[in-house]
Amino acid sequence: MILSDQEVQFFVTTIKNASQYDFSEYSEKSLKRRLQKILLDTNLDLLGLINKIKTSKDFLEQTVKDITVNTTELFRDPQIWQTLKYRILPKFSENKNINIWHAGCSTGQEVYSMMILLNELDLLDKAKIFASDINTDALDAAKKGVYKYRFNIGYLDNFDKVIKENPFNYDEYNDVPYSKYFKIDKVSDSILMNDFLKKKPIFRQHDLVKGENLYFAKFDLILCRNVIIYFKYSLQNKVFKLFHDHLYTNGYLVLGMHETMLGEIASRFDKKGQAYRKK
């Protein structure tokens, strides 16, 4: 089914009127594609979908979840994690506390990646980990910390690259066992995060569109990766402003591999790769 832009707009308006969710500043292509997939999966036409959204709160919530579902990986893009390991996190080693916000954490793989890295750097104890997402199903998965094993076999390669190897010194090899952080259960095809990691983060539902900081805290580091690609330029800038307001000076914002900050707000950061340091 091919939807017109007007039909997508109709959907956005319906959601906006019936709930607190606002997709009007989401990128058209992804939004349209996800909406088409929902229609296909539910076997409804657009009017049928709209009617169901208006009459069932549960169905509306489910639709919002289907729109906002996102994929993530353990140590996705190892080079960024190497940057965090060797260049960014050591700067905070003298801090009394390190506040870290994973904004749009989805199913939590990067939250666990960060905690594993912090633990290897002996910084986990003084870190406060905040993790938020709009999608409560994703948050529930993040809290459980259980991931498919075979499908995600690449997680282990990424772990080795970031935790065991040193890209600047090939002679160095830290043989950290996976079991220090998670259990691999091949029978149930699962990777299960250890309890001491699972109980650490403060998970909260949060909609970046609303532009508020629900933790009432300031941060040394904010990770927001592969989230703003779903937002239009105007909303991106609003979100960057929010991050800027709630970073400490010299705090860092880390974006996805192919996300860029543009416009006036960019002048308030020093950019190195995907890491933006607040001036």
Partner 1 sequence: MYKAVVIGGSAGSFQVITRILNSLPKNFPLPVLLSLHRLKHVRSGFVEALSIKSAIEVVEPSDKDTIKPGKAYLAPSNYHMYIELNKKIALSTEEPVNHSRPSIDLTFETAAQAYRDKIVGIILSGANRDGAYGLQKLKQLGGLAIVQDPNECQVKTMTEASLKMTQVDHIFTTQQIINFLQSLK
Binding of partner 1 at residue 226 (CB under 8 A)?
A: yes
Q: Is 4 in the site for partner 1 (CB under 8 A)?
A: no
Amino acid at 18: A
Q: Does position 270 bind partner 1 by CB under 8 A?
A: no
- The one-letter amino acid code at 233 reads Y
Q: Does 56 bind partner 1 (CB under 8 A)?
A: no
DSSP state of 260: -
CB of 248 to partner 1, least distance (A): 26
Q: For residues 11 and 92, which CB has a smaller minimum distance to partner 1 in the complex? A: 11
Instruction: Give the shortest CB-218-to-partner 1 separation in angstroms.
Output: 27
260 scored as a contact of partner 1 (CB under 8 A): yes
The DSSP H or E segment spanning 277 is strand 275-278
Min dist. Cβ of residue 103 to partner 1 (A): 15
Cα–chain-centroid distance for residue 33?
20
Task: Measure the CA–CA gap between 7 and 258, rounded to whole angstroms.
Answer: 29
Contact with partner 1 (CB under 8 A) among 6, 17, 29, 125? 29
Structure token pair of residue 129? 């980990």
CA–CA distance, 57 with 210 (Å, rounded to integer):
20
Stretch of 8-16, 162-170, 221-229, 240-248 contacting partner 1, by CB under 8 A: 221-229
Q: Does 169 contact partner 1 by CB under 8 A? A: no
If the CB atoms of residues 18 and 39 are measured against partner 1, the closer one turns out to be 39
Q: Which is nearer to partner 1, 99 or 237 (CB)?
A: 237
Sign of CA dihedral 7, 11, 13, 14: positive
Query: Starting at the edge strand that comes first in sequence, how are the strands of the sheet with 247-255 ordered?
Result: 202-205, 127-133, 98-103, 219-224, 247-255, 275-278, 269-272
Residue 157 binds to partner 1 (criterion: CB under 8 A): yes
Residue 74 contacts residue 146 (beta carbons within 8 Å): no
Q: Which residues bind partner 1 (CB under 8 A)?
A: 27-30, 33-34, 70-72, 76, 79, 154, 157, 226, 228-230, 233, 236, 256-260, 262
